[in-house]
Structure 1
Amino acid sequence: MNTPTRITTTAVTLGLAMAMLAGCASTSADAAPTAVSELRLGYFANVTHAPALVGVEEGLFDEALGDVTVQEQVFNAGPAVIEALSAGAIDAAYIGPNPAINTFIQSGGASARVIAGATSGGAALVVRDGIDSPTDLAGTTLASPQLGNTQDVALRSWLKDEGFETTTSGGGDVQVTPTENAQTLTLFQQGKLDGAWLPEPWVSRLVIEGGAHVLVDEGELWPDGAFPTTVLLVRAEFAAQHPDVVEDLLEAHLAALAWIDENPDALPSTINAALDAATGKPLADDVLARALENVTFSPDPHAEAFAALVENGVAAGTQKDGSIEGLFDLRALNGLLTAAGADKVDDAGLGAKE
């Protein structure tokens, strides 16, 4: 099946990835590498986490990390990932930007670092028949994946801009009910929810399987339609102690992006194989095709959007205000990109200094 997938030019080719896998000196000199036997990696069984799914299914993490065993753990939403990361139960994760911001601010910058982007786009507010404009949302009940996750913040922020009050306890003019994605689909099909702000493939599942329609494509709210959906986050202590392993993880990540770029026809079956292995529930072909039309895969984390994301989280009442200077450490990523002849990505002045 030839599925149209939007891939940015910064997603390098397979040949480029192999050049990077040949080796590049680590740019992290803060700590000498120490021995480690495993890397515990979290990700979601979502289309927006396709680089992780491809990396697992195609064996790219195992190839790049060599003797370091990769232990994968599947999560449903970002706040649960942050709990695991903060407890030292995982070392790195594919995650939405708002939970990454939350942990950084709450820890005073000590908890984690964004080391790469992964996915842009692929989130929307979908609603039932009879809701055709924001004014129709008064008194409705909408779902988000989890309180404080990236789509939850986007929904609450957008509702506030439209003049609706929400509360984190489910009150206000529009009731926002954080709900696990699969349960959201069931409740929507039963008529117990009026809509939801979700990532792919759940947007497409509600549209195709639940008869929903898109009221707001989140891309319409951002300049040039570009907004971060998934980034690669590493626990700061792990990064300081094992910079060589982090670099190997980045090599695998870039190899996964390269594989996606080079194999658009094979991408749907690879994603479905990974989803089947992780959850036992592959996607219908039409759902997967629609979902892939709405996402872009790239190592660019769109750091320029993060200041607005902080404002949105504060306005939504799901996070504290605070500085995110130092949230990004793209030095190893940019070292690999430069060595491979690719363009660097920008940290918008929010990164580790040389």
Structure 2
Amino acid sequence: MTPLRRSTSLSFILLTLVFVVAALIAGCQPDAATQQEKLIRIGYQKFGSVSILKARGTLEKRLNPLGYRVQWVPFPAGPQLLEALNTGSIDIGHTGNTPPIFAQAAGSSLVYIGAGSPKPQTEAILVHKDSPIRRVEELKGKKVALNKGSNVHYFLVKSLEKAGLRYQDIQPVYLPPADARAAFAKHSVDAWVIWDPYYSAAEVDLGAKTLVNADGITSNREYFFATKAFSEKHEAEIDILLDELKKSAAWFAKHRQEAASLLAKQIGMDVKAVDRAIRRSDYGIETFQPAIVSDQQLIADTFYDIGLIPKQIQVKEAIWSKGIQK
């Protein structure tokens, strides 16, 4: 064999070995899709059923043996959480009743996978402890802080309507909770529409007065969501999540003081404020009955009528097929 042919043969053998080794290495590594399937990313807020579930650590005990790792991602409010869900940054999350209306109107691929029990006493319109405002009617022309698109948005609209005012009669100041609290503390706004535990913290820390809560105005349910793609591939995992949420709700009903301690530590808030919020909270997971869907549809229709969303939507189109009760 000539030196040239010998060199060519050796090169061919070495190149073949490189491909073989590369193939073996690739075969030992899980592909990106497999890695993605083994990670469940859950968005959560400072308060609610998902926060309690996270604090208890029971979901991991169910999913870890199946090869899944749970990643918890915090959010200041529902609109931000659902934006992350829409972009695929998380797989599952929870919000109040209003954020999914804005998200669906914007074309989000979210699906409702569960509904919580009503909690109307956990959101309110607050005024300063020295405020002369005593009635909702007196908010006309006033600056009112709220997180745009959050659960309190609908509550504010209906509260004004009940008082004979239009949304255009106030000056809405759109701020996330932390910024809204700062503005409220400085008296830069006249009122603040907010939910627990920020609501209870404002009462404890700032002496804020409740002008009106949502009792008799809106149900203020908590809802649970997944991306459409995740719901189609992970039905069993969603069933486990909902089952653990139900168990956490049952545990909460019997261990409110312990729940307050767990949440206070987890969210870095004074236990006195958290305990106050806990005492007016109620948790439970319900199947999507037609009445719940109609309640959400009413919010969607209201927002379209007053121009807060650009098009009419059908809430039932975003309900997980397994989650609705005929």
TM-score for the superposition, normalised by structure 1: 0.73
1:119 Cα deviation after fit: 4.8
Q: Per-residue CA shift, 1:162-200, capped at 9, x if unaligned?
A: 34344xxxxx43111111212222221211111111111
Please, which of 269, 290, 294 is the counterpart of residue 276 of structure 2? 290
* Letter of the 1:283 counterpart: D
Alignment partner, residue 92 of structure 1: 92
Please, which of 232, 256, 263 is the counterpart of residue 264 of structure 1? 256
SS of 1:321's partner is coil
Task: Report the identity percentage.
Answer: 19
* Structure 1: distance between partners of 2:252 and 2:317: 30
Alignment partner, residue 78 of structure 2: 78
How many equivalent residue pairs? Answer: 282
Q: Residues 42 and 92 of structure 2 are in contact (CA less than 8 Å); yes or no, is this contact kept in structure 1?
A: yes
Are the structure 2 counterparts of residues 291 and 312 from structure 1 closer, same or farther at C-alpha, using a change threshold of 3 Å? Answer: farther
TM alignment of 1:267-282, pairs within 5 A: 267-275=259-267, 281-282=268-269
Alignment partner, residue 151 of structure 1: 152
Long gaps (5+) in structure 2 = 1-33
Are the structure 2 counterparts of residues 315 and 197 from structure 1 closer, same or farther at C-alpha, using a change threshold of 3 Å? Answer: farther
Alignment partner, residue 115 of structure 1: 113
Please, which of 293, 298, 322 is the counterpart of residue 331 of structure 1? 322
Alignment partner, residue 131 of structure 1: 133
* Letter of the 1:273 counterpart: K
What is the CA RMSD across the aligned residues, in angstroms?
2.4
Larger Rg: 2
1:264 Cα deviation after fit: 2.2
Alignment partner, residue 208 of structure 2: 212
SS of 1:71's partner is strand
TM alignment of 1:157-168, pairs within 5 A: 157-166=158-167
* Structure 1: distance between partners of 2:71 and 2:103: 22
Q: Residues 123 and 196 of structure 2 are in contact (CA less than 8 Å); yes or no, is this contact kept in structure 1?
A: yes
Alignment partner, residue 174 of structure 1: 170
Q: Residues 116 and 222 of structure 2 are in contact (CA less than 8 Å); yes or no, is this contact kept in structure 1?
A: yes
1:106 Cα deviation after fit: 3.7
* Structure 2: distance between partners of 1:157 and 1:177: 17
Alignment partner, residue 37 of structure 1: 38
- Structure 1 or 2: larger helix share? 2
1:270 Cα deviation after fit: 1.2
Q: Residues 127 and 192 of structure 2 are in contact (CA less than 8 Å); yes or no, is this contact kept in structure 1?
A: yes
* Letter of the 2:319 counterpart: F
SS of 1:220's partner is coil
* Letter of the 1:190 counterpart: K
Q: Per-residue CA shift, 1:5-54, capped at 9, x if unaligned?
A: xxxxxxxxxxxxxxxxxxxxxxxxxxxx99821111001113xx1x2122
Q: Per-residue CA shift, 1:110-146, capped at 9, x if unaligned?
A: 712211123532111111221111231122111112x
* Letter of the 2:284 counterpart: S
1:328 Cα deviation after fit: 2.5
